[in-house]
Every structure is written in C-alpha cells, then in structure tokens.
Structure 1
Amino acid sequence: MSWINFFFFVIILNTVTGTVAYLLCKLLTRIAEKAGAIRVIYLMYRLVLIFYIVPLGWICSCVRSYRRSGSILLGDSFYGNPLIFWIIQIALIVWIVGMIYGILRKAKEKVNERAAYRLKMQNNIPFRADWHREMLKRMYPHKNWKRVRFCTNFMMKSPVVSGVFTQTMIFPECRYSKPEMQVILMHEGMHIVRFDNLVKMIILTITYIDWFNPLLDPYLKEMDKWADISCDISVCNKFLGGKTKLYFDVLISARDPRRISMPAFVSQLNSKDSIERRMNYMIQWKRSGGRKLVSALLMATLIAGSSVTAFAASGQVATQQNDLYREIRVTESEAIGEETDQEIHFLPADQVDQEKWDNAIVYEEAALDPLTVQKNFTWTVPPDNFVRSTGFIKQKGGQIIVSCYLYSQLNHRVGIRRPDGSQLYVLGTHQITKTFNCESTGTYYVFVENMGRVDIKVSGYYIR
C-alpha cells in the first residue's frame, strides 16, 4: 500500500500535524508577546517546520505495525475493491494535478519579477572584500566566509543577501562608515549563519506540495516577519550589549524607500512600518529581559501539543484503515463464495526443500481481536524463498482457511504444511482464497513460496 502510505501518512497527516502546530504556535506567540519572551517566537515558528516535513505520524504507525505483525506495512492498496481503489487513485491524481497547476501558476506570476531580478543581478560588480570577510570571521568564526561572494550594484538601494546554498552579499553603491558597515555585516551575517534563506525556500516548496492548505501562506509571512525581529535581537544581544540606538540608526539609513521584489532574499529593509514594528519589539525585549523560564515552557508546550496530535492522528488513521481493510477482505471473500477455483496440489515431505524451509522468514501475526482465531498478515517474500507463519495446533477434521492477495503477475504457491512435513498448496496469483482440510492432529503452518526472481508482497488473513 505504498501509495496509501504516502498519501495519507506523509501528505495528509503531515499537513494536519503541521497546521495544528502552526495554530498552537500562533496562540503561544500571543502569550510570549504578553510575557515579553520575544526572542523565542522565531524558534517556535522554525520548530513548526519540523512537523510539516518530518513524517512523525508515518513513523509512529510503522513502529506500531512492526511491533504488532513484524511488518511496517498496513493493509494493502485495496486492489480487491475497485471502488475504494479508484477513489484513492482519483484523490492522488487530483493532488498531483493541483500541485502541477500551482507550480505553473506561481511560475507565471514570477516571470516578470524574475526578469527584473536577473536584470538587477547583471549589474553585480564583485570585489575582494578582504576586510569584510575578516570582520565576519571574527563575528561568526564557525562559518566558511570564503564561499560568500561580495558585490556592489548601483540598482540596489539597501544591503541584501541572495542565494540559498551559495550566498551573495550585495551592497548599494554608497559609502558607509566603519561602524555602520559592521552593523550591516552583523545583520546580514546572522541571516546567513541561521540559514534563513534555506528555511524560506523549504516553506515555499511545502506550499507547492500542500497546495490545498490555506494556512501555509500566512505561515510563510509570519516566518519572514519574525526572522528579522529575531535577527535584530540576536545581533544586539550578542555584539552590542543590548544597545539598539546605533543598530536602528543604521537600519533606517540603509533601508530602501521603494519596494523591490526579489526571490530568495532576506533583509530588504523596505518598509517603514516594518522598521517601526521591529523597534517596538526590541524595546519590549529590552524591558522584559530574556524570560528563559517562560521561553522553555512555551517551547515544551509546543513540542508536547504538536507531538500528541501527530501520534494520536496516526494511530486513529491506522486503526480505521485496518478496520476498513478487514471489512473489505471479509466482504470480498463472502462475495466469491470464500473460495477460488485453484486446484490443491500435494507435495510429499521428502520433496520439500527442507533447507529452504528452515531458513524461511517467520512472522508473528497479530490477532484481530484478543480471542479470535483469525490472523491478519502482510508479508514481503524474497525471491525463491518461503515466508511462513508460526506453528499452531489443529485437531484432525478441522479446517484452515487462507485468503490473501499477491502483488505479482506470476504464479506463486500459497498453502499449509502438515504435521508429517508434506505440503498442500494452490498455485496462482492475485486473489487466492482456499480451505485446507486437516487430516491429522499436529502442528500446521501457513506459507507463501515466491517462485519468481524479485520480492513480492502478499496481504491477507488465515483462520486457523
């Protein structure tokens, strides 16, 4: 069920858990603002990104499934029920078409902006910047500043940083005093060492994938806003001893009075309202202090609340999916009279490849309910090998019902091994449902033998 796993657990559940984390973060942001814990807000917004990109729900479901049945697969792709199968396929097609349409629409909107951006970049004039690199190395010694390019550009009205993996720091053609240049390098360098451009690019990519989520655009704007506020606080706290007058004097003098649209840029300083808002938050931060305890509690609340949602949602979806899977398989078996028309073959004990049988993969299947005799399984069978159940006791005159679906176009063996070592099996592919009679009392096994040269997957149940 690779498509169902991918669609529900990686896309749907990640969207749900990421959105819950974002909404919880907005609530905690208000608390942080009132408490004066301004510095932690950007960290919380970056933490939300983890719940959008790390498939915690899928991982949790795989672990639970492995502990229960020895397999990380849940159910199957519902090939046995055409209605549900095609509903899943249509949902996937709609998602893919929507994603392609969103990418093309965004690309069309950005054509003029990118053309203007390329025109501006053609006017970049590189310079050696030995003093700039030396200054940045002192400020941020763990960063390799040799890979960062420095340019001037007469079309730029404020310092900017472009690029995601290889950055270019661009300055307008104007003279800054040494203290002003130091502050500018502090600010732009902070964005580079924190990978703010990369974070924005990841969020932008997620907006293409989860195009049906209306909250991703507001999340991107919030991240952009708090990235600069956090940068202001970090620079003043780390280099200026909390003194903000010089810092904001430089930002105001360096800001661009016109709005310039450039992709993958940080710190354009192009809005008077933005500067005023950042100054207000800085003043609030200075008055309240670090608020480390409040910050730690807010981060812990965000992690705990979002994680509980991820694990609870994954468990509920996995349970409902397996319930639906079992209902479909039972309904399907009843519809076909519980048996397919494959002929039962007999293989004497002396003709069974005992070495291969002894090296077979053995799975512990979980009972559907605590006292039931029906076992649910999803096995991956290596080429030219057996996968079998654990042994179980059956009385003479009993029956073993095996119903499964083989994801293969070739014929394979599905059957039981009897107490005397002989085998009864049917040779077929796709849906197989067969009843085997027990002619003696002893230990029986259910097995699938892969007759091909590649791994196959088989999902179903047996009633012992």
Structure 2
Amino acid sequence: MNWINFFFYVIVLNSLTGTVAYLLCKLLALVAKKYNAIRIIYPLYRLVLLFYIVPLGYIYIRCKVGFFYGSATIGDGFFGNLEIHLLIQLCLVTWIIGMIGICVVYYAGKWKKYRIMYRNNLPFRGDEYRAILRRFYPKKNWNRIRFCTNFTVDSPCVMGIFHHTIAFKTLNYSKEDIEIILMHESTHIVRKDNLGKKIAMVIVLINWFNPVLRFYLKDLDAWGDISCDIHVCSRFLGGHARKYFDLLWRFSQMEEQYSENLPAFVSKLNSEQSLGKRVEYMIRWQKAGKKTGVSVLLALTLVIGSSVTAFASSVQVASQQNNLYCKTRVQEVDVVDNDDLQEYVIPADQVDEEKWDNAIVYDDALLEPLSIQRNFDWKIPGNNFARSVGFIKKAGSTIVVSCYVYDDRYHHVGIRRPDGSMLYVNGMHQVTKTFNCETTGTYYVYVENMRSKQIRAAGYFIK
C-alpha cells in the first residue's frame, strides 16, 4: 500500500470518521441521559473505538474500485507533480516526528511514573481474596491474579492489561469493604476496561494532531467508572448502592497529598472529583431501570450514522484526490510529450495473436468515471502484455499515453488499432506519446514486457 493512501485513508480519514463518531456519541449520550438510559452510554463510548481503528473508508474505496486494478492506487505518487509529492512526504515525516516526540516526552514520563509506582507493590498470597473473586465470577480463571499492597496509590486499583494486579493501599479493611472492593475491581478485569483504555491511549498517540481525542479518553475513563458502579450494584448488591457509595466516600476522605495520579491503563475504585457524578447517575439508573429499547435504538443510531459518515467522507476524499491527480497529470502532457520517440508498426498479420489473447486485461470500467482520462498501475509478467479493454475512437482523434516503466530496460508502450496492427514506441522509465487514430474503430492501450521478469508500469492514458 502506497504511503499516500496509507496517510489519507488510514490515518487522516480514520481520525475524521472516529471524531465524527465521538461527537455523535456525545449527542446520543445527552439523549440517553434525558431518558435515563445510563447503562448504554459506556458501551457507546467503547464502540467509538472501532471507528478509530477499522479503516472503513479505505476498505470502502478498495472494494469499490477493486483490489487488483490500477484505480486501487488513485493518486499514488502524483507522478506529474513533484511539489505535491514532496508536500505529502513532508506531512508524513511531520506526523512521524510528532508521534515519536509525544511518545518520548509525554507518555514516556507517564510510563516511568507508573513503573515507579508498580515497583512499590508488595505482593501477598491472598488466597481468601481469590476465593471471593471465584464466587463473584465463577467462569473466570483467577489463578494468575496478583494481590499487593502499595502505599503510593490513593485508592484500591487494578493494574495491567492481560496479567492483572489488584493493589490495596492498606489491608486494614473490613470483610464487607474487601468484598465491595473486589466486586468493583473484578468487574473492570472481566470487562477488559484497562485494555480499552490502553487502545484509546495508543489511538491518541497515533492521532496526536487531533485534539478532540484527549476529551474522548477522559470521557471513556469517567463513564467506565460509572458503568462499573451500576454493574456492581445491579449484579451483586440487588440495586442497593448505599453501602457501595459509603465506601467510596470514606476512601475519598483518606486520600493523601503525595499520592500519584494513575495513568490511563489503570482502573481504580474511587476518584473524589467524579464521586458526585457517579452518585447522580446511580440514582437516575435506579429510578429508570434498564431502558432496553432506548439503548438498542441509540446503539444502532451510532453505528449507522458513523458508518454513513465514514463512507461519505471516503468518497469525497477519493474524489478530491483523484481530481487533483488528474489535473497534474493532464498538465504534464504539454511539458513532457515525447513526440520525438520513433514509432514502430507491427502489421496485423505479424501480430502474435495467441500472446495477445493471453495478455492481462485491466478493465478500466472499474475506475472512477472520468471524462477523458484513465489511470492505471499494471504489473506485467515476463514476456507478456498488459492491456486495457477496448474503446471506440474516431478517425482524426488522438490517444495520449503517459506512464512510468519501473525497469532499466526498454519496453513497448503503444496501441492496437482496429485493423489489428500494433503501433508502439520503445521507452524506458518515463514514456509519454501521442498516437494518431487514422480510422474509426476499437482501440486498445498496452504495455509489453520485453524481459523475462515481472515489471510495473503506472500512469494514465487519455482517450
């Protein structure tokens, strides 16, 4: 896949469609709050991750134009305009440097703090805690879970993505408090909340140029705790949340000034700043119940609305990119037309028809409809042809063929005329030629590989 397609269709377009999905999710979250469908909000925010990860726009373009035809590389390289090509390369270098810089300066610092905090973990066996976890989630394998104490954390938390550690600030909790803590942290583990946070953090790193993503990471973290509260109270406490929030309130009063802020890939029991919101949404959930119908409708709206946006934006980006490509390529004809190339004719009775019939045919009908120009990117096996499908030309008109042959030897670039004869030029690297059409009929554009190994020819022809 060409760097330009990678940058536009996978990075820029994913950032755009993901951001639209996030903004739509915030709108749907307002609707969910209005109808008290609180439980669906966190799944909606997690669903947004798909639109940042899956390159829907690129997949759509590839499926539309075909995986094996020249149009699948619309705009690649901008062969006719070196300035545009260099500008795209500059954008790519800036993106890579920015990504590395943010990773080293910002996230490396967070990771260092996390590792310092992690080294303060003091492990203990915790067999009785593991037995409590098995009672809560009997189908989950809890044998590899680790239990530790850590004086640097401000509340109990779960660390890790695949190998989890539950860290307690101290062990002087009552049995009832321990059970509530383990309810909360085991729910984070079962739902893989830390993995979702880590994926979101990587997306923020890759799309560092998109400031909206930082707000998304914050919302995902906040709603993860709210959703976990509701799940714990619903599954284990019969909907009664008073004991649960009494524990959170007591923990908030015990926070110390020197406690470290936990990074995005750690889920903790309590945050004093969010406690009021968590109580508010818990009360609203208790009054409203599940709201299954509203939840399903909101999820479908997010998926359909974001998918339509992804497809629409991909079409617009492809169209604009292709238009710019076509303009730069057409302008090149006036500058680089090599009319001094000698033309050669193969009479119809001397054409190797068997070889012609076995040529690789690239159907340009699969390309985006252009008025006069067809782009191609052909891979031509050794000692064989690659050709277009036939098209009608009138007598007195011309066919402009311009392509770059990726090889250091001469190859044949030409047309086949209605009478069966072949008109071609011998060219190497950049080959541009205007062929005259002497009769009305069906013409073909072709490139013949004159050596035994596969070559590539990319460019366009104007009918």
Which TM bucket (shorter chain)? 0.7 to 0.9
Name whichever of 339-348 and 159-168 sits farther off: 339-348
Measured in 1, the distance between the counterparts of 2:397 and 2:265 equals: 73
Which residue in 1 is equivalent to 2:243?
A: 246
2:171 is matched with which residue: 166, 169, 174?
Answer: 174
CA contact (8 A) 2:414 2:423 kept: yes
Measured in 2, the distance between the counterparts of 1:354 and 1:151 equals: 78
Unaligned runs of 5+ in 1: none
CA contact (8 A) 2:346 2:421 kept: yes
Counterparts of 1:385-424 in structure 2, within 5 Å, are 385-392=384-391, 399-408=398-407, 410-418=409-417, 423-424=422-423
Measured in 2, the distance between the counterparts of 1:85 and 1:340 equals: 26
Measured in 1, the distance between the counterparts of 2:60 and 2:461 equals: 23
Which residue in 1 is equivalent to 2:216?
A: 219
Name whichever of 188-197 and 119-128 sits farther off: 119-128
Give the CA deviation at 1:239: 2.2
Measured in 1, the distance between the counterparts of 2:332 and 2:396 equals: 26
SS of equivalent residue, structure 2 residue 204: helix
Identity level (%): 53
Measured in 2, the distance between the counterparts of 1:135 and 1:307 equals: 43
Give the CA deviation at 1:131: 3.5
Measured in 2, the distance between the counterparts of 1:378 and 1:54 equals: 27
Q: Deviations over 1:171-226 (max 9, x none)?
A: 23313333332222221111112221111112211222211111111111111110
Which residue in 1 is equivalent to 2:362?
A: 363
- Inter-CA distance 453–369: structure 2 relative to 1 (3 Å threshold): closer
SS of equivalent residue, structure 2 residue 66: helix
Q: Give the alignment's Cα RMSD to 1 decimal.
A: 3.1
Name whichever of 130-139 and 16-25 sits farther off: 130-139
SS of equivalent residue, structure 2 residue 231: helix
1:127 is matched with which residue: 105, 119, 124?
Answer: 124
Unaligned runs of 5+ in 2: none
Instruction: Give the AA of the match of 1:320.
Output: Q
SS of equivalent residue, structure 2 residue 458: strand
CA contact (8 A) 2:386 2:446 kept: yes
CA contact (8 A) 1:412 1:429 kept: yes
- Inter-CA distance 169–386: structure 2 relative to 1 (3 Å threshold): farther
TM-score, with structure 2 as normaliser: 0.88
2:182 is matched with which residue: 182, 185, 199?
Answer: 185
Instruction: Give the AA of the match of 1:54.
Output: V
Give the CA deviation at 1:355: 5.3
Name whichever of 212-221 and 450-459 sits farther off: 450-459
Which residue in 2 is equivalent to 1:158?
A: 155
Counterparts of 1:327-406 in structure 2, within 5 Å, are 327-336=327-336, 338-347=337-346, 356-366=355-365, 374-384=372-382, 385-392=384-391, 399-406=398-405
TM-score, with structure 1 as normaliser: 0.87
SS of equivalent residue, structure 1 residue 456: strand
Measured in 1, the distance between the counterparts of 2:378 and 2:129 equals: 59
Counterparts of 1:36-435 in structure 2, within 5 Å, are 36-66=36-66, 71-107=71-107, 109-110=109-110, 114-115=112-113, 117-255=114-252, 257-258=255-256, 259-336=259-336, 338-347=337-346, 356-366=355-365, 374-384=372-382, 385-392=384-391, 399-408=398-407, 410-418=409-417, 423-435=422-434
CA contact (8 A) 2:402 2:430 kept: yes
Give the CA deviation at 1:233: 0.7
Measured in 1, the distance between the counterparts of 2:381 and 2:435 equals: 25
Measured in 2, the distance between the counterparts of 1:132 and 1:228 equals: 22
Give the CA deviation at 1:104: 2.4
